[in-house]
Amino acid sequence: MPFVTVQIAKGHSIEKKRQLAQAITDALVATMGTKPEWVTVHIDEFERENWAVGGVLHVDKHGGRHVEKGV
């Protein structure tokens, strides 16, 4: 029974999260032969002010905003 945790920044639509959960489930079914109903996907969202790369907070790199493509 696979349990997958995905960490992403807040700001993604519910539809994108549905697509993500389905893609992860499909990949595990295809590669591990597990049943879809046995796959658990946990999406852990975090604030961009709590994420830094190269010593700079993500919120500072992008002006404090996030625009999801295709929304």
* 37/1 Cα distance (integer angstroms): 9
What is the DSSP pairing of strand 56-57 with strand 52-53?
antiparallel
Q: Is 2 a catalytic residue?
A: yes
Q: Which of 2, 9, 24, 59 is catalytic?
A: 2
- Is residue 32 within 8 A of residue 1, CB to CB? The reply is no
For the annotated catalytic residues, the residue numbers are 2
